[in-house]
């Protein structure tokens, strides 16, 4: 239970700070492409940190990285209070990404090896996103959100002191990143293509909603709808075949991103956000279980998986800001839908070919 609670608190912290970062950048005078640069800096730091720390956790143990990452995240979230200009915002968000990367891959591997139901475990992350989005809707002020994020990480750190390293067997082999990447390459590529489009959309979506006349409170509720659906759906995916569910998540994502380009009415946007929750639940949980079951190097595999998402977080926001600058917000949505089609074409054969997946017990963005 403490593992899921730590996951909840960490994702609460992440989402509570993340939603309004584009609005903070705009308040500091940043243009769309510069806001994309802020997101790219965060994603790049997260990418390399999660890849390296997930890899090292296979040989050094999980809890060293979980606790160090939670402590560093508490400090760096608080450091966002010091932001006064665009340069400092880029530096601080990079530090946040670095800190989160230390903890996330190791925490996922620790949860899996401790026998946690990964669908339910992931659902607590979505529950954290719900509360983070609602907290953003209610608190609204940047400094209150940053303080709340910092406190959540420090509470999670205290809870992690109850974890036992003996629950995790340290790897007796020296994990090789290249071999793990090759084993799951088609899956990682499918996830990358879909999520690249998603991260391009997320960086401009609050600005797009603002352009439609939606205020911060309703933006927070729209975000919360997506996460509420994730929390419910993820808890039931364990009973289905993870390969089919993963491919379904890719297919549904195409429809969601296309809908963003044409739907402007507030009630319809809530429906689209709900479908987004189903799409991500299927894609994320399905892919996560596939990679964790593909071999013994679970820290490395989850680190690469997180790094794939974070590579999108590094490149996608910059692309989103650049495309918005040239072709407008609708262009970003259609770009994401196109990448979703490419991801689906890769995902279907990937679901059949991932080693170890075919013999897995039937289970589950």
Q: What is the pLDDT of residues 260-274, one digit of tens each?
A: 888 888 889 999 999
d(C-alpha 329, C-alpha 346), whole Å:
26
**pTM, 2 dp:** 0.76
Residue 362: per-residue pLDDT: 33
Max mean pLDDT range (138-142, 166-170, 247-251): 247-251
d(C-alpha 26, C-alpha 325), whole Å:
14
Confidence bin at 175 (pLDDT 50/70/90): low
Residue 7: per-residue pLDDT: 92
Tokens of 138: 């209610």
Please determine, for residue 349, whether its predicted confidence score (pLDDT) is greater than 80: no
Residue 94: per-residue pLDDT: 93
Confidence bin at 348 (pLDDT 50/70/90): low
CA nearest neighbour of 6 among 168, 169, 222, 155: 155
| SS3 of the chain | CHHHHHHHHHHHHHHHHHCCHHHHHHHCCCCHHHHHHHHHHHHHHHHHHHHHHHHHHHHHCCHHHHHHHHHHHHHHHHHHHHCCCHHHHHHHHHHHHHHHHHHHHHHHHHHHHCCCCHHHHHHHHHHHHHHHHHHHHHHCCHHHHHHHHHHHHHHHHHHHCCCCHHHCCCCCCCCCHHHHHHHCHHHHHHHHHHHHHHHHHHHHHHHHHHHCCCCHHHHHHHHHHHHHHHHHHHCCHHHCCHHHHHHHHHHHHHHHHHHHHHCCCHHHHHHHHHHHHHHHHHHHHHHHHHHHCCCCCHHHHHHHHHHHHHHHHHHHHHHHHHHHHHHCHHHHHHHHHHHHHHHHHHHHHHHHHCCCCCCCCCCCC
Please determine, for residue 358, whether its predicted confidence score (pLDDT) is greater than 70: no
| Residue 172 phi, psi (nearest 5) | -90, -5
CA nearest neighbour of 337 among 250, 207, 263: 250
Residue 172: per-residue pLDDT: 53
Residue 156: per-residue pLDDT: 94
First-residue to last-residue Cα distance in the chain: 22
Indicate the average pLDDT of the chain: 83
Residue 356: per-residue pLDDT: 44
Tokens of 22: 């584009």
Residue 192: per-residue pLDDT: 92
d(C-alpha 73, C-alpha 88), whole Å:
17
């Amino acid at each position: 239970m403490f593992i899921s609670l730590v996951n909840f608190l960490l994702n609460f912290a992440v989402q509570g700070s993340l939603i309004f970062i584009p609005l903070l950048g705009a308040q500091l005078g940043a243009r769309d492409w510069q806001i994309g640069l802020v997101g790219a800096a965060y994603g790049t730091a997260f990418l390399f940190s999660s890849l390296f720390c997930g890899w090292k956790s296979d040989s050094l143990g999980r809890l060293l990285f979980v606790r160090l990452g939670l402590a560093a995240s508490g400090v760096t979230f608080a450091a966002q209070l010091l932001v006064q200009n665009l340069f400092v915002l880029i530096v601080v968000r990079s530090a946040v990404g670095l800190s989160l990367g230390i903890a996330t891959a190791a925490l996922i591997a620790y949860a899996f090896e401790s026998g946690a139901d990964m669908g339910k475990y992931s659902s607590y992350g979505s529950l954290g996103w719900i509360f983070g989005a609602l907290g953003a809707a209610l608190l609204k002020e940047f400094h209150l959100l940053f303080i709340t994020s910092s406190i959540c990480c420090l509470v999670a750190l205290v809870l992690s002191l109850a974890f036992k390293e003996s629950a995790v067997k340290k790897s007796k082999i020296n994990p090789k990143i290249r071999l793990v990447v090759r084993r799951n390459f088609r899956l990682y590529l499918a996830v990358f293509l879909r999520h690249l489009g998603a991260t391009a959309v997320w960086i401009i979506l609050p600005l797009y909603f603002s352009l439609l006349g939606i205020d911060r409170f309703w933006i927070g509720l729209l975000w919360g709808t997506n996460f509420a659906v994730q929390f419910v759906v993820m808890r039931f995916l364990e009973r289905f075949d993870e390969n089919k569910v993963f491919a379904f998540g890719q297919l549904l994502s195409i429809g969601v991103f296309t809908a963003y380009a044409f739907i402007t009415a507030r009630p319809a946007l809530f429906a689209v956000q709900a479908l987004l929750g189903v799409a991500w639940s299927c894609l994320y949980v399905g892919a996560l279980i596939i990679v964790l079951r593909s071999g013994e190097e679970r820290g490395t595999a989850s680190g690469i998986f997180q790094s794939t998402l974070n590579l999108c977080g590094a490149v996608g926001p910059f692309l989103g800001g650049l495309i918005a600058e040239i072709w407008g917000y609708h262009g970003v949505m259609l770009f994401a839908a196109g990448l979703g089609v490419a991801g689906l074409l890769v995902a279907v054969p990937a679901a059949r070919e991932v080693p170890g997946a075919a013999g897995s017990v039937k289970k589950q963005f």
